[in-house]
Amino acid sequence: MLIGSYQPALVATSYLVAALAAYVALDMAGRIDASRGWAARGWLLGGAIAMGVGIWSMHFIGMLAFRLPIPLGYDLAITLYSLLIAIASAGYALWVVSGPSLPPRRLAVAAMVLGAGIAAMHYVGMAAMRMLPGIDYHAGWFAASILIAMVSAGAALWIAFRLRSDGKGVFRRRVGAALVMGFAIVGMHYTGMAAARFPPGSICGAALADGIPQHWLASLVGTTTFAILAMALVVAILDRRLQERTSLLASSLHKANQELTYLALHDNLTKLPNRLLLEDRLEHAIRRAGRGGGRFALLFVDLDGFKAVNDAYGHPIGDKLLLQIAARLADHLRAGDTLARLGGDEFVVLADVDGASDAAALAEKLLLQVARPVEVEHGEINITASIGVALFGTDGATARELLANADAAMYSAKEQGRNAYCLFEPSMNRGAHEELALTQDLRRALGHDEFSLHYQPKLRAPAGPLTGVEALLRWHHPEQGMVMPDRFIPLAEKTGLILEIGRWVINEACRQLAQWRAQGIEIPSVSVNLSATQFRSPGLFGKISTALSAHAVPASSLVLEITESTAMHDPEASLAILQRLADLGVGISIDDFGTGYSSLLYLKRLPASELKIDRAFVRDLVAGGEDAAIVSAIIALGRTLNLTVIAEGVETEAQQHLLTELGCTSLQGFHLGRPCPPTEFAARLA
């Protein structure tokens, strides 16, 4: 019997190749598990080739390490057959471990199939030497090699399945598993070699015929194996990094989408649900109540006087107040209730209730929480709320109806004195609808020439001559007739239409004054009232300059009346605006004087030319009374500051005489002349 020997270096190399092939197999299993569709099929094919070539190469490197005292060679066709068997076995193994599960029965069947395939590859490879006489195999060692192949295959399949997913520490576990699997593969090979018996006088038929010489096979196998395995590893590593980046990008996009969704559905300041999320939850509550017959209430909460807090302390303090109020409201609601912020100082509560009394109790509790002092840097701020309550079913069956009716009830609470709640009543909605209709008509009024100016004379006390006229706005509604300013001016200020209406008033007053003068009617000046919104609008100066130049009216002929409260709202800012107006040359009149909180320090700095005593002091004016004392003080103050003092609201002869005796400069009121259209006014002067 021929005695064989092994080259230690090649034996060690065979083990390294086996371990490398095992690692590639484990990594490929991970790539296949992480891929889908054609990408997974591509990784399965590439992995089968890389793993099969690796196992096959280990076998032939082990064969190259084997030495017999005869020339050795290998039949090319049989050698390639053994390679195909290795690739097919590797492909089957990777397909098995890429499945969603690996139950014991499937593992056992797969281990037998893969083990038989590896053993077949080995013994077909041995047959490639075409030994004459044939190789004699020891039955015990032969059976042991097949058993080792199957057990190794089962262990390899189980390890590959367990380690197919990437994660923390997987690389180290795969390396360790590859070293163990390498020992198993090498053990099967050399057990199979131990089973081989070469009778004396044996010759290698492949070496004598057209077989591949051993040294050529060594070069081919070594070069091909390491090239394929290296390429497989490089591609796998690059793909892993690409997947990691893709996963990181996908995670970032998912997080960004979550943040965007959150921002789209929540208030930026309080992080409470916004109108969009509230409407969604309201629709859900309506469907749930419709199916189960439940009841819920919608509470519209509006803070009283919040704008004054912002103006006095600034928006940062206002924001802190809103945050504290939102936290208080949220702390006193049940887990299933919704607290939303619609914007500004408006909150809405969606709560399950048993009835109107339950909703009223909740509203009362929320009012108490809002009314508690709020601690800020500048001390304590006290604020209250007005709450409107609408019940599902009774006060509306749709989200739009409930929101509108709760809003109407809230405004009713404000009209009743604030710091109160109101349950919705149908009469509230009628008022809201009327206001909405009037607002829509107001938007069309300018375009339809429905506005006009009436003029009221201002006379030097006691009965003349004429010192000027005041232009008073009137609205000729096509259906309601004459609408007085106290009805539509608040709506105009609320909707912002006051700016366009105010521009029209200034232009029309200048036009009429120019027309009167062109007709030879001498009117010393025309006064126009400015709302607080107009007074602080950036375009005010341009509108005034345009109107004066368009009608060639001297600036001194136009008097702008602003209320005392408007002038004292932000004294420094008001002073700057008034100074710019005075620089244009127009007159400045402080209207409703005595009703605000004027500071004498600021009053003396205002570039005003006249004070108008509010009609509230004139209405009940009698000699020796409190109103007479106040009027007398105002007149004295005006004289000291060199201002013309005008009393408005003069309706009786007694008031006319008493104001004259007190030293009032000019008078205005129904007793001296009612407001009238310009043609009628011109006729009175004729």
Largest CA-CA distance found in the chain, in angstroms, rounded: 154
So what's the pLDDT on residue 513? 93
| Angle, CA of 405, 408 and 414, to the nearest 5° | 145
In whole angstroms, what is the distance from residue 415 CA to residue 412 CA? 5
**Residue boundaries of the structural domains of the chain:** 5-241, 275-424, 438-685
| Domain 438-685 top-level CATH class | alpha beta
Of 12, 13, 18, 14, the residue nearest 182 (C-alpha): 18
Give phi and psi for 336, each to the nearest 5. -85, -5
| Angle, CA of 227, 231 and 237, to the nearest 5° | 145
Of 422, 278, 261, the residue nearest 348 (C-alpha): 278
So what's the pLDDT on residue 234? 60
In three-state form (DSSP H/G/I as H, E/B as E, the rest C), the secondary structure along 401-460 is HHHHHHHHHHHHHHHCCCCEEEECCHHHHHHHHHHHHHHHHHHHHCCCCCEEEEEEEEEE
Give phi and psi for 621, each to the nearest 5. -70, 125
The list of the chain residues with pLDDT below 70 reads 1-2, 4, 6, 22-40, 43-44, 47, 60, 94, 97-99, 157, 160, 163-171, 174, 177-178, 180-181, 184, 206, 209-247, 378, 429-433, 594-603, 686
Superfamily of domain 275-424: Reverse transcriptase/Diguanylate cyclase domain (3.30.70.270)
Q: Give the residues across from 296 on adjacent strands.
A: 352
DSSP string, 455-483: EEEEEETTT--EEEEEEEEEEEETTTEEE
Query: Which tens digit of pLDDT belongs to each residue from 50-94?
Result: 777 777 777 767 777 777 777 777 777 887 888 888 788 777 776
Pairing of strands 644-648, 666-668: parallel
The proportion of the chain whose per-residue pLDDT surpasses 70, expressed as a percent, equals: 84
In whole angstroms, what is the distance from residue 423 CA to residue 665 CA? 52
In whole angstroms, what is the distance from residue 584 CA to residue 581 CA? 5
So what's the pLDDT on residue 216? 60
Query: Which tens digit of pLDDT belongs to each residue from 11-58?
Result: 777 777 777 776 666 666 656 665 666 666 776 677 677 777 777 777
Buried/exposed code over 518-538 (b: 16+ C-beta within 10 A; e: otherwise): eeeeebebbbbbbbbbbbebe
Q: In 3-state terms, what secondary structure has residue 345?
A: coil
Structure tokens at 196: 């081989």
So what's the pLDDT on residue 97? 66
In whole angstroms, what is the distance from residue 499 CA to residue 507 CA? 12
Of 300, 296, 302, 301, the residue nearest 391 (C-alpha): 296
So what's the pLDDT on residue 368? 92
So what's the pLDDT on residue 524? 92
